[in-house]
Structure 1
Amino acid sequence: MSGNWSILRLSTQAPPTTTEATPPPNTSQLPPLTDWEVPTFTRAAQFRVGATFILFLFAACSNLALLVSVWCGRGRRLASHLRPLMLSLASADLMMTFLVMPLDAVWNVTVQWYGGDALCKVLCFLKVFAMHAATFILVVISLDRQHAILHPLDALSAHRRNRRMLLLAWSLSLLLASPQLFIFRAVQVEGANFTQCATHGSFSRRWQETVFNMFNFTTLYILPLLVMSCCYSRILLHIHLQHLRNKAGESYLRRSGTDIIPKARMKTLKMTVVIVLSFVVCWTPYYLLGIWYWFHPDMLRVTPEYVHHALFVFGNLNTCCDPVIYGFYTPSFRADLAACCRHTRTDTSTRSPERLSARPHSEGSDPNTNQQPAVD
């Protein structure tokens, strides 16, 4: 999701202009409009807020569980080069969860912008930074999986290589999000008592804005998709060739190897296919709608409002899919979830007043002092 793809939403709220106005340093003053109506919190926007709230709860719980599992749970047993990838993935998805989703929900409720110019710039910057980071971490994981399958004997340098790639991913995210600090500003409609956080006045020509939007679209969707598709295609090709060699008797593996390698390859195959499909399925419709708008702004009058909102919510579903795809393919994460559920049920039952009062004295309580044993 591009940072300036927010303009699609802003365009439905900030009115179009027929004359160019020179913006002052902090606030752009738009000329008065006679046929413009102040936007309202519509039924479609209410659906968007409700759906975003549900996704927020699920994404927050699942990504926090994944982060805790990898940081201090059984996930610590993962290979040293995999732990930073999982931690970065969970951190990037949590940034998406706690920055993008609440900002979008509150913004839809208030309709206009009440945060001032500085907060407009900072929040738009953080929003695009989180989206770039979440996408680039997927690319780093794809590159790591490709190297692990194609060069299994080079595992000793994987930790150092992944740390460098992660540093590059976070640095590029900061760099590519920095233009939002300069192009977004608080735009006030003169005579209408309406303020919006938009990019009006930052581009002197329409084509300049389109080029910038396409650049963000390329860095956030096209290039990551190409890199991930290339990595996973090479993985599948390698697995296929290995399968043909083994079938033809060109290589002989130990019996233990024949029991483990096919299962590991099948798990990698399933996971990589789901990774690519989830990214493509969740974000492609929203990006296609954005491209349509950038080249034909009148599409806002053609497509129903609920379509824009539904596609944005569907795109955010990718943040919820990541911990499911990566976490539930990791046995340690499933074990941590099962242990947490058992601990919760046990803790609830032992703290129940009925069970405490019905517990016999022989279980450890002192009949003279009526003190119960400590509950873990």
Structure 2
Amino acid sequence: MSCSGQNGSECPVHTLTLLSRNPAFSLQYSIPPAHLNSFLYPSTPDWEPPSFSQAAQFRVGAIFILFLFAACSNTALLTSVWCGRGRRLASHLRPLMLSLASADLMMTFVVMPLDAVWNVTVQWYGGDALCRLLCFLKLFAMHASAFILVVISLDRQHAILHPLDALSAHRRNRCMLLLAWTLSLLLATPQLFIFRTIRVDQANFTQCVSHGSFSHRWQETVYNMFHFVTLYVVPLLVMSCCYSRILLHIHQQHLRDKAGESQLRRSGTDIIPKARMKTLKMSVVIVLSFVVCWTPYYLLGIWYWFQPDMLRVTPEYIHHVLFVFGNLNTCCDPIIYGFYTPSFRADLAACCRWSKDSSSPLSLNRLSTRQGPHSGEHELQSHYNQASKD
């Protein structure tokens, strides 16, 4: 469809030039650039479509590497928790890890390929329906990933502050996960109506944007900030509150022990069971990886929303590097989980041994015998017994 403004003027080609320098920049926030609905720049008849720059080539190469690693590692994590040794995790922890791996896989198979292909093609060739659908799926995956981290934080807070209420943990976590996925779905739904394809006829250029969806620039800024709050600010505040309360509780317990109020004098590391402490450390590191990886890119987005001209004064490679660094978070979760969970490492080792010995039927029989449900691996069984108490 052709592009026309509110006053019947043609869509400013210069704004599409800025967008095409980094076509997925705004979509990472699920929001169009603020200047797409402003007509500050006149059309230029000698405008030429942008090209696939070297900075974008680096971005695509890096995203491809992250895609391969994230797809393999998160699939392995999902398989381990679903049908491997990880299924012996505590009943209320298992849905959390399954949801986290599923959200990371959505980010891997929706966000990364879309970003890479869009940077290669520069303009949009997928049609209007696919434009709306992929923008919706991208925001849905991002919200789900953030909200599931919030659910994990709330679960850890309840487990530490109310250790005797473990019986209701499974039902409580299922309700919170259902709420997280439902909210993600609802918050992403506007993308189906806001994004669309527009075309500049004189340049034979098509882009997937939100031009014409907002009558005033302030409306688009409000939409931008709303999703920034729901994607980053609110999850960060809730997670910070949860872990602050946990640290305060551990500190108070330690002071009581030192004051002799506890009959059994225990050290600070023994205030809570070791298995629960290990799960707490794992969730803290997962949350920290989310904050460290995405904070620079979100700060860049805030600057961009209030000063759209920043695209012309900041080097293009900065946008690409920060986006790649943010997507690194998808690869961190299975690494962190594997570091704190022997069952996941054991499943990976078993998979490697299976692929190595698969050509030998005798070796495969021996391997299956070792991996049977009564294998008697003392260290792993001890871990499962501890985890089941959490």
TM over 0.5: yes
Question: Separation in 2 of the partners of 1:346 and 1:65?
Answer: 19
Gaps of 5+ in 1: 20-30, 352-362, 365-372
Alignment match of 1:104 (pick from 94, 111, 115): 115
Question: Separation in 2 of the partners of 1:306 and 1:258?
Answer: 45
Deviation per CA, 1:132-158, whole angstroms, max 9, x where unpaired?
A: 111111110110011011101000000
Go from structure 1 to structure 2 and tell me whether the alpha carbon gap of 1:208 and 1:304 turns closer, same or farther (over 3 Å shift): same
Question: Separation in 1 of the partners of 2:197 and 2:181?
Answer: 28
Structure 1 segments, 4+ long, off by >6 Å, are 8-11, 257-260, 373-376
Deviation per CA, 1:161-182, whole angstroms, max 9, x where unpaired?
A: 0010000000000000001001
Go from structure 1 to structure 2 and tell me whether the alpha carbon gap of 1:82 and 1:269 turns closer, same or farther (over 3 Å shift): closer
The amino acid across from 2:110 in the alignment is L
The residue matched to 2:211 in structure 1 has which SS? coil
Alignment match of 2:143 (pick from 105, 123, 132): 132
Q: How does 1:292-303 map to 2 (within 5 A)?
A: 292-303=303-314
Question: Separation in 1 of the partners of 2:286 and 2:26?
Answer: 20
Deviation per CA, 1:303-335, whole angstroms, max 9, x where unpaired?
A: 000000111000001111111223431221122
Q: How does 1:252-331 map to 2 (within 5 A)?
A: 252-253=263-264, 261=272, 263-264=274-275, 266-268=277-279, 270-331=281-342
Go from structure 1 to structure 2 and tell me whether the alpha carbon gap of 1:305 and 1:150 turns closer, same or farther (over 3 Å shift): same
Alignment match of 1:41 (pick from 52, 59, 74): 52
Question: Separation in 1 of the partners of 2:348 and 2:33?
Answer: 38
Partner of 2:62: 51
The amino acid across from 1:66 in the alignment is L
Partner of 1:5: 29
Partner of 1:360: none
Is 1:85 paired with 2:109?
no
Deviation per CA, 1:213-253, whole angstroms, max 9, x where unpaired?
A: 00000000000000011111111111111122222221134
Gaps of 5+ in 2: 1-24, 369-390
Q: CA deviation at 1:7?
A: 5.3
Go from structure 1 to structure 2 and tell me whether the alpha carbon gap of 1:205 and 1:323 turns closer, same or farther (over 3 Å shift): same
Question: Separation in 2 of the partners of 1:81 and 1:267?
Answer: 16
Q: Provide the identity percentage.
A: 80
CA RMSD of aligned residues (A): 2.9
The residue matched to 2:128 in structure 1 has which SS? helix
Partner of 2:227: 216
Partner of 1:356: none
Partner of 1:64: 75
Question: Separation in 1 of the partners of 2:28 and 2:285?
Answer: 28
Query: Is the contact made by 2:289 and 2:329 (CA closer than 8 Å) also made in structure 1?
Result: yes
Q: CA deviation at 1:274?
A: 1.8
Deviates more, 1:275-284 or 1:142-151: 275-284
Question: Separation in 2 of the partners of 1:37 and 1:199?
Answer: 22
The amino acid across from 2:192 in the alignment is L
Number of aligned residues: 343
Q: CA deviation at 1:51?
A: 0.2
Q: CA deviation at 1:9?
A: 7.5
Query: Is the contact made by 2:26 and 2:33 (CA closer than 8 Å) also made in structure 1?
Result: no
The amino acid across from 2:115 in the alignment is D
Partner of 2:385: none
Alignment match of 1:249 (pick from 257, 260, 278): 260
Alignment match of 2:186 (pick from 169, 175, 192): 175
Q: CA deviation at 1:262?
A: 6.0
Question: Separation in 2 of the partners of 1:276 and 1:175?
Answer: 24
The amino acid across from 1:49 in the alignment is V
Partner of 1:27: none
Partner of 2:168: 157
The residue matched to 1:187 in structure 2 has which SS? strand
Question: Separation in 2 of the partners of 1:185 and 1:38?
Answer: 19
The amino acid across from 2:71 in the alignment is A
Query: Is the contact made by 2:279 and 2:340 (CA closer than 8 Å) also made in structure 1?
Result: no
Question: So what's the TM-score if we normalise by structure 1?
Answer: 0.84
Deviates more, 1:91-100 or 1:326-335: 326-335
Q: CA deviation at 1:84?
A: 0.7
Is 1:197 paired with 2:197?
no
Go from structure 1 to structure 2 and tell me whether the alpha carbon gap of 1:327 and 1:137 turns closer, same or farther (over 3 Å shift): farther
